[in-house]
Structure 1
């Protein structure tokens, strides 16, 4: 790879080369410790004499910007710190738009590795220790062979036929979703599925109804497209259907495991929601983010499986059952918007990485996914039982658990006055990551409480970490 140097004309060649290399080092474009080309190679690339290049290298070495290692090569000095880039003098024309994005709250954004606690209760994190790496490695090698045998062309935006077929079989069997492979668009996580739906249905001023409390990334995404957000409260049976206003274009719900409170939408409420959407001409987005993990009672139908009018867009993800890093989701789309979603997908990123698609298809088809879900289910069940036991005994003085039968997070509400922000701050000092409930409310007074994800924390760490939380609560009461 050639180093970017531009030589103009044939005057002061050494001066041109010296100034450009010096500027590149100080700007950080040539990073500290990076190797630069040998003088002979750079001279050939630039069409100048090797002596000229050697003279410049020697001068930069004298100034301690370069350093040579005998038998190895020439490197940018590790002692050079890049200069800060000054801001533009004029005001950015789009400054108001940028400001709105900068001010958006992201309560579910996972901390960087340096900011994570040893005992993390963040929602959405899955257990990596149980991931079957050997099985996954076999699937990745299969995917590499498929990519090697391809013609080097872009794939279809809807996704690999192999993966779409595997998804259709999986969700038909496990969730009662009525679909065939051609109904599915593969996406980079569930969030892109929501983004594509918003792109093809939302325009400035249109009404989007969401649950209150609800999933902030969905609400913020719809608002960023110019939607008028109507936060509809939930009760023990789910979203209060009669409060969904006329003119609503999209209704976003999490019926199997309401996010963040955790209840399941009753069958009567599901039917009422379908009736209401049909009446007002709305599309329902069913975000079925973690319903593979169910611990009590009989399974419930997916909302899409009950839909007789083709008005439910079923959104799923592999981030919760496999790994968040894979970033692979999908949407089973109503026929009226299916092609539009494929067009939007094509324009935004063309298609999801084909190697990941092949690997996950193989993972599903060979039975690894079903086995992994069973193993995680048993482990999450034990973690859930530990949490329920603690919040029904020594932590019951401060919190009560909202009953839930699915997923891998619990929500606890304060039974008496607790300074939740102070509790979270003190817990972080002893390496326990707790997260408040208030960031999930949009237009109503938040209920004080905590959302406790138990996907990332090890089972054996739960009692010890909750002992620390109990001790903090006792000290705060003293």
Structure 2
């Protein structure tokens, strides 16, 4: 790769080279430790004499900007003067808007790899040792062969046809969703699906109704789009539909496994929600994030399967069934908004990466996904049962579990006052990652407690981890 230096004319060659290299170092374009081309090579590239380059290197070395290492070459000095002061956020005309974005909390951010604790109860993380490495490798190799045969053009914004067809078959089988490949847009995770829907449905000042407590990243996204978010309380039957205010344009719900409490929405509430959306002219986002994992009772149909008027957008993700790092999700769109969402997808990122799309299409069509879900279901069921036993046993003086039948997290509500921040701090000191429930409440009365994910923690680690939690609770009273 050539060093970007531009020489104009034949005058002041040494000065031109000196000024450009000095500016590149001062601005950080040539970072500390970067190696410069040998003087002979740079001279050939620029069409100037080697002596001009050597003299310039010598001047910059004398000034402390470069350092020569015998037998290795010339490098930018790690102790070179710092770049000139750049504009801070407060210097810019968009300072207020930057501050708005910076102020958004991130209660569901996962820790960096080096910050992951020995015992992690974080929600949304999948079981690492169950990932089907061999099957996924074979599917990825097949995807590479397919891409090698393609013409080099961009793909379509709605996604690879084979994947959309595979998704349609999978969710029809597992969730009763009524759709074909033509109704699906493949996205970079469920979060991008929410972003696209917000872009085409909302305007600044538009009203969104969502559950409280609820999925904070969705709320923050709607607020960032300039919408007003109305908090609607939930009870044992789910969202209280009669509290959805007039003028609502978008309704966000998690009916199969309410986030974060876990109860499913009753049939009566689902019917009332559809009627209310039709009366308002609103679009419903059904976020069906982890309902493949069900442990008790009869499976419930998706809300989308009940929709006869085209008001429900069904959003799903493979982050929960396979891996959060895969970053593939999808939206099943009603006809009225399909074209607008497709245009928004195209303008946002053209299309999602095709390599994982082709790999996932084969992974689903070969039956690997269903096998993987069944395998993980058994693992998660065992972990869930053990946590419930502990919450009903030696942890019962402090916590009670919210009844839930699906997913791979559960909520534990405080039965007595517990200093949750102190509990979390003490737990981190003994390598236990605990996460609070109250961050998911916005306007409604806050319930104190924990959200206990059991995707990342190994089954044999649950008891040692909860032993540590119990001991800390005894210490802090």
TM-score normalized by structure 1?
0.96
Cα deviation, residue 28, structure 1: 3.0
Aligned to 1:363: 363
Cα deviation, residue 311, structure 1: 1.0
Cα deviation, residue 213, structure 1: 0.3
Aligned to 2:132: 132
Aligned to 1:66: 67
Distance 1:141 1:452 in 2: 36
Cα deviation, residue 266, structure 1: 1.2
Q: Give CA-to-partner distance per residue, 1:131-188, whole Å, 9 cap, x none.
A: 1111111111111111111111111111111110000000001110000000000001
Cα deviation, residue 61, structure 1: 4.5
Aligned to 2:420: 420
Distance 2:60 2:389 in 1: 67
Closer, same or farther: CA 82–461 of 1 in aligned 2, 3 Å: farther
CA contact under 8 A between 2:57 and 2:66: conserved in structure 1?
Answer: no
Give the match's secondary structure for 1:129: helix
Q: Give CA-to-partner distance per residue, 1:308-359, whole Å, 9 cap, x none.
A: 1111100000111111111110000000000110000001111001111111
Closer, same or farther: CA 143–387 of 1 in aligned 2, 3 Å: same
Aligned to 2:85: 86
Distance 2:398 2:392 in 1: 10
CA contact under 8 A between 1:25 and 1:65: conserved in structure 2?
Answer: no
Give the match's secondary structure for 1:297: coil
Cα deviation, residue 123, structure 1: 1.0
CA contact under 8 A between 2:26 and 2:83: conserved in structure 1?
Answer: no
Aligned to 1:391: 391
Aligned to 1:267: 267
Give the match's secondary structure for 1:359: helix
Structure-to-structure mapping, 1:3-402, within 5 angstroms = 3-61=3-61, 63=64, 65-70=66-71, 73-77=73-77, 79-80=78-79, 83=82, 86-88=85-87, 91-402=91-402
Give the match's secondary structure for 1:88: coil
Closer, same or farther: CA 272–82 of 1 in aligned 2, 3 Å: farther
Distance 2:296 2:47 in 1: 75
Aligned pair count reads 475
TM-score normalized by structure 2?
0.96
Structure 2 residue runs of 5 or longer lacking an equivalent are: none
Give the match's secondary structure for 2:205: coil
Give the match's secondary structure for 1:35: coil
Distance 2:448 2:414 in 1: 6
Aligned to 1:442: 442
